[in-house]
A and B are shown apart, each in its own frame.
Chain A
């Protein structure tokens, strides 16, 4: 079995990685080496870092540091095609000669590769454990032993635990990177309009605008650019606030849902009028009266959904909001008719940043940050619920739902179900 002190060491290494002192592959190397090899002296540990650009993955031995240039063997020298990546850029030491091989994404050797790469030479039993973080395979641990029948149930269980620890670490490191990238993008979006304001101010000073009408237009542009900068800053503030809140406990309180929906919808009436949209809360269809949630965060979620619906609806259409109770979830639904969402997009829109945005969304509203729905998803996970989007149906309607667990419902519309607000 894995030794508890080795697991503790892995946790310490993870903290070291989070301080930014180690790269993702390096930290996994260290953990595998220190934990697995200390627990099982007869085993050789490897992990395969999956490259997104190819089915092939580099397999690097973790039992000892990479060698000096004189005892290394490049992929080209081995005659093995390895996809270009920072890991195998020219001049980068890929691995030592006795520890290099290539495997496919399932941890199997690629077709045509030598049957017994040097790193596995002499091993008589092996065991693969996938490292899967948030439904994405991040790599494979390959454990080999010179002892036959080395992998009994305790060893397999222990290595699977190690795989799960590594998945959590990789996921955490990945999210940390995403959040840093998001900060950078939002900062960029703040600077854009501010830089524009500076340019327009210079034009005003240099008397570029001769006519009153033109100066009036520039005034409106300045106001809208300032508003853009404020919104971008607010997004950044909300995101950092949410990240901070996400690490702590969220205060839940009793909240009347339908008035909340109406209140949020009302704030978008002005913008909706400009687009000739109508926004309505279908009060008659609302099945939920009172819930126990974090009201400001849920307000933010609903606001983001309505904001998106307004932005991406076609002119003259309707945005409709209502709540329902199913056998598993208490749902808040926002429905609109606009640019639409196909099946693949309906999942990725809850990701973070511009990469989560669909091309149609980018075309309709270039200034979106890709933060809104990400925040919604995070808020819902804090409520032990989730946010989902239905692909656009044959009538052109797109529905996005907030799914809360049933135990947040304190009172159905006109029916007391017996929960009490504590």
Chain B
């Protein structure tokens, strides 16, 4: 609950930008895999007010999406995290594979020190430009809302709430311990379930990477 309250406070001090498009779902919840009831109240209100930033500044609603979008993937990343960067080809592949099925990928840069020029350079170097959208989360509003702890970490927002949060796959077991190839592709499985209208069987997993707590707040 503390996490949620922080999100409300932080969202409250941000300027509210005009809504960019219709919402993916009616309400957002902070508890993974759990649908909240009660329109416009409590948790739902927190999500409605939650704001991140466009790369060039100005508040952005991370949940805003055009019609036909069935899920949004928030992919927390940073420009110089080696594990995050090594996943770039896989993230692009997933984005391309799920785009026709109404899934939008949004890179979230939670390090306040990473600003527009560095982010643009990063997106060009790792060929994200055109494949994914990008937002900054310097106040960690979205970080706290979904409970992300490292980069890379994914959160899937669908049907008005977060239905998955964790690793992209199980390639990294720990820092310094990785599998030659993944044996479970958790993010892809979650998206496949969401598209099929089924529950995500394992809604949280432990991601391995660079700690968001280390980014200067």
| Same complex | no
